[in-house]
Structure 1
Amino acid sequence: MHTSNWHYPTSIRVGAGRARELADACRFSGIRRPLLITDRDLGASPMIQQALDDCRRELGHCALFDQVKGNPTGSNVAEGLAAYKAGDHDGVIAFGGGSALDAAKAVALMSGQQRPLWDFEDIGDNHLRADPDGIAPLVALPTTAGTGSEVGRAAVITDEQARVKRTLLHLRMMPRVAILDARLTLSLPRHLTAATGMDALTHCLEAWCSPVWHPMAEAVAIKGLQMLQQHLPRVVADGQDLEAREQMLVASSLGAAAFQRGLGGVHAIAQSLGALYDHHHGLLNAIVMPYVLLANESVLHRPMDELAHALRLPVPGFKGVFDWLLQLREDVGIPHTLAALGIDERDARLIGQMAFNDGCSHTNPVRHCAEGYQQIFSHAVRGC
């Protein structure tokens, strides 16, 4: 186990039990009247009550908004923003999995803006529309090792009316402090440990495969994949393994740093499916991943040669990486097809078009057309 402080550029406090530093992290970030935002499942949990008690004792005030759903929506953000303004808050505590963290970051973004939420979607220079002084400071405590949202500058929110996921982006949305306390993840069930871990792996893998030139992100992606290779099977096998839990939290943060290089077709399809069917994002990524890799194989020979070598796989190249990923999915209990989630091909054409339109498709190593994504989706449904 370790206790460390890093700056990359978020100030990251790593170590078991460091959630008790939450009030200090708020003071460091200039927050005196925080609103703690979490999801519906965590709202009544002992860890949230402890955080509220600590902040109320040391800061004098801390309120709770716990109405965030999985795959957070624009309505969640609007309700959280109303609570933020009603309580005269000056900062946000993002506490929970990726959904809670993303919703909290969107509330912080909107706390001092005059434009509507979707005006800040990550398209072109839309981030310049935001008043940076109107973005509240954040402190983040992840309870899952998946999205890495605690060190990211983006939030993914579902637009219920359009039935699409939209990415909001601004540097000021990046939390001032992230606390990686493995004890907060010990109660995560096996299936969610696997799904969130595969989300982190997808971030690292798609960043590694991206055609964008970003050597720092490449290096971070490789280290994240090495950590995930070692610790994901271990933590799924024993959820009380505190060391493995901590390593997974760090790997998750590395994944989020790596995808400054971009993501790809796995996310393009998974985000489209999440908007339509509301399934767990990490699970969708894990199922779709091999089908996208096969569709990209023709341009991945060199990166897969290097990755197989870095992971010391027994078989080199694309086949070695592909076989490892298939075995890892099976070992941690990921279904092989989307049909296992009850997803069929009735929306295949729509999903193909949505995936093509998704911003993540722009950094896929192959620029598949809508029909190409439709075909990949159909393969993922059928398992062929």
Structure 2
Amino acid sequence: MSITSFSFPTSIRFGAGARKQVAAHLLEQGLKRPLIVTDRALGALPVLAEFRSHLGGLDVAVFAGVFGNPTCSQVMDGAAAYKAHGADCIIGFGGGAALDVAKVVGVAATHEGDILEYVWDHPQVRAISNPLPYFVALPTTSGTGSEVGRSSVVSENDTHLKRVVFSPKILARMVFADPELTLGLPPAVTAATGMDALTHNVESYLSPAYHPLCDGIALEGTRIAAAALHTAVTEPGNLQARSDMMMASMMGAIAFQKDLGAVHSAAHALGAVCDLHHGLTNALMIDTVMAWNYEAVPAKFDELAHVCKVAGGGAAFVPWLKTLKASVGITGTLASHGVKPEHIPRMVEIAVKDICHQTNPRPCTAADFERLFQAAM
């Protein structure tokens, strides 16, 4: 597999072995002291050590303080590590959590105040006005597409509410998308992150916002993910399937500048209240929400069914989703994953306040979210 370079809008080097080009790229920019921002688990795995073996000529430090749903305090700790190393650039290495933290470590390291003061809906939001450190991103999962996103989602330390820093200034200067970095992912992680990528594409396409460019990307991303996910999970060494899922993940993140929908609002609430993996929460909610959305945009469901090669048209799309989930090992209800009836009122409160459902194809009230959560129990 060759490595392909393209920009959309982020500069991307895509292909097996792309990770080996990072050192030369940074040295070409006159940069020598990177801070790698990664998560706690990856920091202890051979995949990070192997990546570091390709960073000759650089004085590298590692911040491996990201874990769970990333919090604001993890960002601030990363900024302290950046300053302590005297770093001149940042390498984000990991899944969506690590990359979301990496994207704003540079903001916290070069600006005053807490990172929460830079979230888009802060009453006195601070501007990102200072130059940011050079930032490159290497995804090790195929789900969030955070490597090509212009937002960072981090949770409040105490409430676990997800907050968003949004700015084109935090886009990676270069993405090294190397599917070989995903070969070691366990099947359950491959499945959950893959369902996240599929959800991004599906919800972006169903959003009523006008953006035909994103519609085209979302439909193609859906087609690619639908064809590749089962193989990526059941044949973990299949590099083509891994490559396809990495591309579908990036396409979903590019497409969702058009916005998302009620699946994500529900997933964010589940993550905040029950601390469940984001990809898993999307997978647990997608068929319930899509069944509810169908009557609003049946023609769009026909298109989704067409690209996914689902016989029976749009009405068969939700049953197909359930079959796909089961085929990659995602089974059970919210209750079987630890969600309790008493969690629902708080989840409804959070979901209603979440911005994603504002572009759901069918308006979603608090009563609707309550019914959706109960239906998924």
Deviations 1:129-152 (A, max 9, x none): 22152x222111111110101111
Q: Does 1:375 align with 2:371?
A: yes
How far is the alpha carbon of 1:46 from its aligned partner?
Answer: 2.2
Q: Tell me the distance in 1 between the aligned counterparts of 2:113 and 2:335.
A: 40
TM-aligned CA deviation for residue 158 of structure 1: 0.9
State yes or no: 1:222 paired with 2:219: yes
Unaligned segments of structure 2, at least 5 residues: none
**1:279 match:** 276
Change (3 A) 1:124 1:164: closer
Say if 1:29 and 1:344 are closer, same or farther in 2 by CA, change over 3 A.
farther
Q: Distance between the aligned counterparts of 2:31 and 2:221, measured in 1?
A: 32
Contact 1:10 1:178 in 2 (8 A): yes
Cα pair 1:290 1:322 within 8 Å, conserved: yes
Q: Relative to 1, partners in 2 of residues 1:21 and 1:376: Cα closer, same or farther, differing over 3 Å? A: same
TM superposition shift of 1:277: 1.7
1:199 aligns with 2:196: yes
**1:216-240 deviations in Å (ceiling 9; x for gaps):** 1110001101101111011111000
Residue of structure 2 equivalent to 1:16: 16
- 1:347 alignment partner in structure 2: 343
Deviation >6 Å, runs of 4+: 124-128
Residue 92 of structure 1 corresponds to: 90
Asked if residue 311 in structure 1 is aligned to residue 283 in structure 2, the reply is: no
Report the alpha carbon displacement of residue 320 of structure 1 after superposing the two structures with TM: 2.0
Report the Cα offset of residue 21 of structure 1. 0.9
**Deviation sequence 1:157-183 (CA, Å, 0-9, x none):** 110223311111111111111111111
1:40 Cα deviation from its structure 2 partner: 0.7
Give yes or no for the alignment of 1:58 onto 2:57. yes
Aligned residues of 2:119 and 2:165 also touching (Cα < 8 A): yes
Q: Deviations over 1:51-94 (max 9, x none)?
A: 33433x223x1100001002111111111111011111121100
Distance 1:309 1:125, change over 3 A: farther
Report the CA distance between 1:361 and its aligned residue: 1.6
Partner of 2:80: 82
Q: CA deviation at 1:346?
A: 0.4
Partner Cα separation in structure 2 for residue 281 and residue 109 of structure 1: 24
Shift in CA distance, 132/297, structure 1 to aligned 2, threshold 3 Å: farther
Give the C-alpha shift of residue 310 in structure 1: 2.9
Deviating more after overlay: 121-130 vs 293-302: 121-130
Question: Corresponding residue for 1:173?
Answer: 170
Matched residue type, 2:16: A
Contact 1:353–1:371 under 8 Å retained in 2 = no
Given that 1:29 and 1:176 are in contact with CA atoms closer than 8 Å, whether structure 2 keeps it comes out as: no
Q: In the TM superposition, what are the counterparts of 1:216-295 in structure 2 within 5 Å?
A: 216-295=213-292
For 1:28 and 1:305, locate their aligned partners in 2 and report how far apart those are by CA, in whole Å.
48
Query: What's 2:136 paired with?
Result: 139
Q: Write out per-residue CA displacement over residues 311-349 of structure 1, whole angstroms, 9 at most, x where no aligned residue.
A: 3321112x1211211110111111231111111110211
* Count of residue correspondences: 377
Q: CA deviation at 1:29?
A: 5.4
Q: Percent identity?
A: 39
Match of 2:355 among 341, 344, 359: 359
- More divergent stretch after superposition (291-300 vs 69-78): 291-300
Q: Distance in 2 between matches of 1:183 and 1:282?
A: 21
Distance (Å, rounded) in 1 between the aligned partners of 2:300 and 2:307: 10
RMSD value, Cα: 1.7
Rounded Cα–Cα distance in structure 2 between residues aligned with 1:29 and 1:304 = 46
1:127 is displaced (CA, Å) by 7.3
**Map of 1:321 onto structure 2:** 317
Please give the alpha-carbon distance, in whole angstroms, between the structure 1 residues aligned to 2:369 and 2:66.
Answer: 30
Look up the match of 1:25. Answer: 25
User: 1:54 aligns to what SS in structure 2?
Assistant: coil
| Structure 1 residue 6, shift from structure 2 partner | 1.1
| 2:298 is aligned with 1:301 | yes
* Residue type at the aligned position of 1:39: D
Contact 2:152 2:165 in 1 (8 A): yes
Partners of 1:304 and 1:24 in 2: CA distance: 46
Distance in 1 between the 2:30 and 2:370 partners? 48
- 1:124 Cα deviation after fit: 8.7
Among candidates 60, 66, 69, match of residue 68 of structure 1: 66
> Which position in structure 2 is the counterpart of 1:188?
185
Q: Unaligned regions of 5+ residues in structure 1, if any?
A: none
Contact 2:34 2:89 in 1 (8 A): yes
